[in-house]
């Protein structure tokens, strides 16, 4: 950040908006003061609407897009509802980047199993774009994505582009298909048993609703993936983003400072987390 205090937001301009679903909107920001915005996949920012409040939002764009910041925002409260009303040319406050991202250096040379449930694709999109940009640094890449229904699927145009690649395996399912859906149906865990996984060489990156984690963990453990190599996000627990409010504290661990990404080996000792 350019200012001298983590409490002071920088001003960013909304340069584009795109409605993804009825509840999710994608916005692109550019910091008013010309500078590169550097971050790691999995980090987040605090987004503030003046006079209303602020909310933590995961960064969805690629770390290689130095000039803009892309965010997928679900309308879920006063702040996010106000964000949905922003138009191109509006100004907003940001603090960040904050938190720790995915362990991309440790994952170099490994197989990656990326599992996204619903809105979990938003932060994982940043990681996916990162590894595809650095494709030679990673071995096999498998992407699993599940949504409640076809109307809630995010980034459908990019899903099709990823499907078309020869160097990526992608599988998609919806819990409740409609009459126009021709793909797979059922919960995302159904996609895991048939996967050919080399457990000693695989990192599993999992982001989705809390109810998904328990059952995905069971499937990953049945594949004998190391607890240290199962990485999960607790981004939903965050509030202030800097460890001051205590909202995200779990047994002395602050999600916003120490996470939001954690290995399962760490999380299993934080009984409230999963």
Q: Per the annotation, where are the binding residues for [2Fe-2S] cluster?
A: 240, 245, 248, 256
User: Distance (Å, rounded) from C-alpha 270 to C-alpha 39?
Assistant: 27
Q: What is the DSSP string of 171-233?
A: EEEESS--TT--SEES-GGGGSTT----GGGEEEEEES-HHHHHHHHHHHHHTT--GGGEEEE
C-beta separation of 189 from 209 below 8 A: no
Q: How far apart are the first and last CA of the chain?
A: 32
C-beta separation of 14 from 94 below 8 A: no
Question: Closest Cα to residue 59, out of 133, 123, 151, 124?
Answer: 123
Give how far Cα 149 sits from Cα of 94, 186, 187, Å. Answer: 32, 10, 11
Residue where the block lists tokens 């010309």: 34
Annotated binding site: 240, 245, 248, 256
Q: Which helix (DSSP H) or strand (DSSP E) does residue 24 occupy? A: strand 24-31
- Put the strands of the sheet holding 69-74 in their side by side order: 53-58, 44-49, 91-98, 10-19, 24-31, 69-74
């Amino acid at each position: 950040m350019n200012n001298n205090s983590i409490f002071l937001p920088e001003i960013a301009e909304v340069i584009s908006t795109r409605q993804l679903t009825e509840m999710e909107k994608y916005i692109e920001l550019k910091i008013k003061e010309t500078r590169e915005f550097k971050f790691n996949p999995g980090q987040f920012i605090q987004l503030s609407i003046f006079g209303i409040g602020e909310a933590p939002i995961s960064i969805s764009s690629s770390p290689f897009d130095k000039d803009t910041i892309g965010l997928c925002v679900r309308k879920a409260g006063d702040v996010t509802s106000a964000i949905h009303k922003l138009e191109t040319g509006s100004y907003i406050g940001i603090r960040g980047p904050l938190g720790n991202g995915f362990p991309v250096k440790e994952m170099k040379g490994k197989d990656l199993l990326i599992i996204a449930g619903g809105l979990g694709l938003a932060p994982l999109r940043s990681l996916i774009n990162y590894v595809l940009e650095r494709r030679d640094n990673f071995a096999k890449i498998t992407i699993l994505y599940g949504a409640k229904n076809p109307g809630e699927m995010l980034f459908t145009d990019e899903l099709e582009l990823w499907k078309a690649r020869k160097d990526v395996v992608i599988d998609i399912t919806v819990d409740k298909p409609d009459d126009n859906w021709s793909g797979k149906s059922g919960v995302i865990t159904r996609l895991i048993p048939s996967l050919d996984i080399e457990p000693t060489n695989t990192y599993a990156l999992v982001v989705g609703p809390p109810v998904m984690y328990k059952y995905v963990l069971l499937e990953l453990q049945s594949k004998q993936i190391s607890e240290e190599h199962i990485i999960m996000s607790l981004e939903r627990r965050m509030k202030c983003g800097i460890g001051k409010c205590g909202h995200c504290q779990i047994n002395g661990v602050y999600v916003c400072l120490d996470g939001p990404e954690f290995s399962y080996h760490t999380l299993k000792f934080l009984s409230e987390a999963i």
